[in-house]
Structure 1
């Protein structure tokens, strides 16, 4: 899709040629970026995790002169969420949300009528619904056992639920590292794990929780084998292409307590997982200006929006989106965004690159009942204390 966009842009601007440098998912992307940087021939534009851009902040162009323009173009909070230590180093282009996805047909067949997601604002309300679903002979929830889902998306909420301020959440992580905060005593951590215990109990994969077949988990949920699925709107890339799947899906937050007023019980996790950064270590001024022009075209033009929203199924955090998304889960996320009911998970941009894999391994042990809660808290805290020594 990007190659097609590059060709289209070249037709419109014959003096600009854009070459795609593809990379596999995961660490290979960072390795390719690092190798190009080391060779003295960096890519002019890099599509990277915000944390990676922050790590190499001195290699990227400060986009402060572009900031006001993008504040006008994007939805409220989009640019603020992209700032890295106060600097505008990457242009937001996609947004993702996650929580408990639900298969509308399955849930409504069980309850015998329309499902109002706002009725689930506490852990007890969620369990009551799970009981009804189980009694109807359906699996209440799918828990994907991969380390990235458990470590980054689930346990990672611990760091974002402390406050609605990224700076305050960074201070919390610092407190974990210096030992002044004990994770085992933290109410948000314990609330999350209380809810995780509920997810474990009703997990469709509880007999073999670490199979972690992402395509199968997503397909089984889409076809009604589980009513809920802890996952994000990105799974539409799998679900949207399936035959004989259900049509309607939605999203509810992960409740962490029995008090509807507690932060997180009515908000969904939301982030801009990738940003477009422009090289300032080996690219010419002419290349940089061409990059700025292309990126603006990408997020504002009919062609760019059609590719990102309609074909890729992603959400653009922009005000004037000219195309309608086919991603019904992303559309559900946007309803929370438009109401301001989101958890800003921007603290993850400041976390070590291995935080999710290391703590995700501990979550896998907990999911498999190899360790108990105290041991889980101890392992995660030990990870952060070890980070303080580096």
Structure 2
């Protein structure tokens, strides 16, 4: 999907998942014995509404609601659809204003944070989900330290690679662990170039440059989101200077390398997402700074290569530096439960449905196979076709990820404003100091806000 971009433009075991789904056969009925620790289904008739901002999978959710009703006849779930892209927040706000909010909402974390007083604090459910989810998934979903939304999909990004192109260039099997530093990456780029291929593709859109690339600056300060929030506050108040920051300068040194070997360097701002993705998939570039969501384009292409993977973006020549072995990882959508207008019975039924959705075979299959997304949960047996997402999962399983959750606290325009500055840098209209000044001034404009 390009959903990470959409998220950013509007704006990650004691009981196995398999065990949780044993009793979720079509013959199951409300009130039957549940697995230990699993939320009980509704004992009396309950109607729920579900507000969905992942509009491209509305029909999959509706099929899930029907399946859940077959298993739990006392629970009926109605979809409140939203259009793809626009007017989603306005519709959510109108429901709140009407006094008839959706019982369950699938929202960007930043929106949940904005309306945090309207949602149920799910801290009593936290320990259960920490057992079900992959390491760090629940922590990555916390907003102001509270568990207000349950993660259900995860995405990662970094330097995607086309395995065939890289292996032809090096004359052997490629092990991504070979690239531990910036110099390692450049040595590989030189081999690719010598083989007659473009080493790397930079997508010149502001969301890719401002949110995904430059945005790493804020997440690389610390593994702790609260420390990263403090760094941004220090930028706003002039207590930290971006131009002196080692993570920023390391990222930009690597960006200079990407610029040098960019397949689009003659016209870097064209930013044709479909063409860039297709050219990479067909072997016209060995690497591509992008995320696993690009599989929505790549996966359906005729004549594409078959094998792809992902590398972290190296930010220094010290392999031990945080970021050199980790890929960026986020949970772009969370399920939140309303507390402003929902009854206790509706809240309990909503909890049970969400747990079923992420832990049952039916729910997992729908999310992974039909939606084509990655679940941040353990022991998921459903198999999707997204090879890049599978590659990201290997880093997640090893705990080698950069939690980019600090972006949930950013102003809505951060990616477009700082992305425009990055575009200037990409085409040489500002130097490193000019870029740092523009980005710092952006943050200073939010001092005290």
TM-score normalised by L of structure 2: 0.84
Corresponding residue of 1:52: 111
Corresponding residue of 2:292: 233
Partner of residue 339 from structure 1, selected from 398, 404, 408: 398
Q: Is the 8 A contact 1:51 1:353 kept in 2?
A: no
Distance 1:271 1:215 in 2: 23
Partner of residue 121 from structure 2, selected from 40, 54, 62: 62
Q: Within 5 A, what are the aligned runs for 1:95-114?
A: 95-114=154-173
After superposition, the C-alpha distances for 1:321-375 in whole angstroms (9 at most, x for unaligned) are: 1212321111111111121211111211222222112211211221222222111
Question: Which protein has the larger Cα radius of gyration, Structure 1 or Structure 2?
Answer: 2
Shift of 1:26: 4.4
Aligned residues, how many?
Answer: 390
Partner of residue 319 from structure 2, selected from 253, 260, 273: 260
Quick check: 1:244 aligned with 2:303? yes
Q: Is the 8 A contact 2:369 2:383 kept in 1?
A: yes
Q: Within 5 A, what are the aligned runs for 1:109-258?
A: 109-258=168-317
Unaligned segments of structure 2, at least 5 residues: 1-59
Distance 2:406 2:246 in 1: 18
Q: Is the 8 A contact 2:263 2:285 kept in 1?
A: yes
Distance 1:362 1:307 in 2: 40
Quick check: 1:76 aligned with 2:135? yes
CA RMSD in angstroms, aligned pairs only: 1.5
Distance 2:85 2:316 in 1: 33
Distance 1:3 1:146 in 2: 34
Shift of 1:269: 0.8
After superposition, the C-alpha distances for 1:12-55 in whole angstroms (9 at most, x for unaligned) are: 23333323333345463323222222232222211112122111
> Bigger CA drift: 68-77 or 24-33?
24-33
Corresponding residue of 1:292: 351
Q: Is the 8 A contact 2:135 2:399 kept in 1?
A: no
Shift of 1:92: 0.7
Distance 2:416 2:66 in 1: 37
Query: What secondary structure is seen at the aligned counterpart in 2 of 1:97?
Result: strand
Distance 1:24 1:100 in 2: 31
Distance 1:151 1:26 in 2: 19
Distance 1:39 1:152 in 2: 34
Distance 1:219 1:143 in 2: 13
Partner of residue 73 from structure 2, selected from 6, 9, 14: 14
TM-score normalised by L of structure 1: 0.96
> Bigger CA drift: 96-105 or 19-28?
19-28
Q: Is the 8 A contact 1:237 1:312 kept in 2?
A: no
Query: What secondary structure is seen at the aligned counterpart in 2 of 1:262?
Result: coil
Query: What secondary structure is seen at the aligned counterpart in 2 of 1:324?
Result: coil
After superposition, the C-alpha distances for 1:294-315 in whole angstroms (9 at most, x for unaligned) are: 1111101111111111222222
Shift of 1:99: 0.4
Distance 2:78 2:267 in 1: 43
Corresponding residue of 1:372: 431
Distance 1:378 1:109 in 2: 42
Corresponding residue of 2:96: 37
Corresponding residue of 1:384: 443
Shift of 1:248: 0.6
Query: What secondary structure is seen at the aligned counterpart in 1 of 2:358?
Result: helix
After superposition, the C-alpha distances for 1:95-115 in whole angstroms (9 at most, x for unaligned) are: 111100000011111111100
Query: What secondary structure is seen at the aligned counterpart in 1 of 2:191?
Result: helix
> Bigger CA drift: 357-366 or 379-388?
357-366
After superposition, the C-alpha distances for 1:56-87 in whole angstroms (9 at most, x for unaligned) are: 10010111221121111111221111111121
Distance 1:214 1:13 in 2: 43
Query: What secondary structure is seen at the aligned counterpart in 2 of 1:18?
Result: strand
Distance 1:27 1:292 in 2: 28
Q: Is the 8 A contact 2:135 2:397 kept in 1?
A: no
Unaligned segments of structure 1, at least 5 residues: none
In the superposition, relative to structure 1, how do residues 295 and 245 fare at CA in structure 2: closer, same or farther (>3 Å)? same
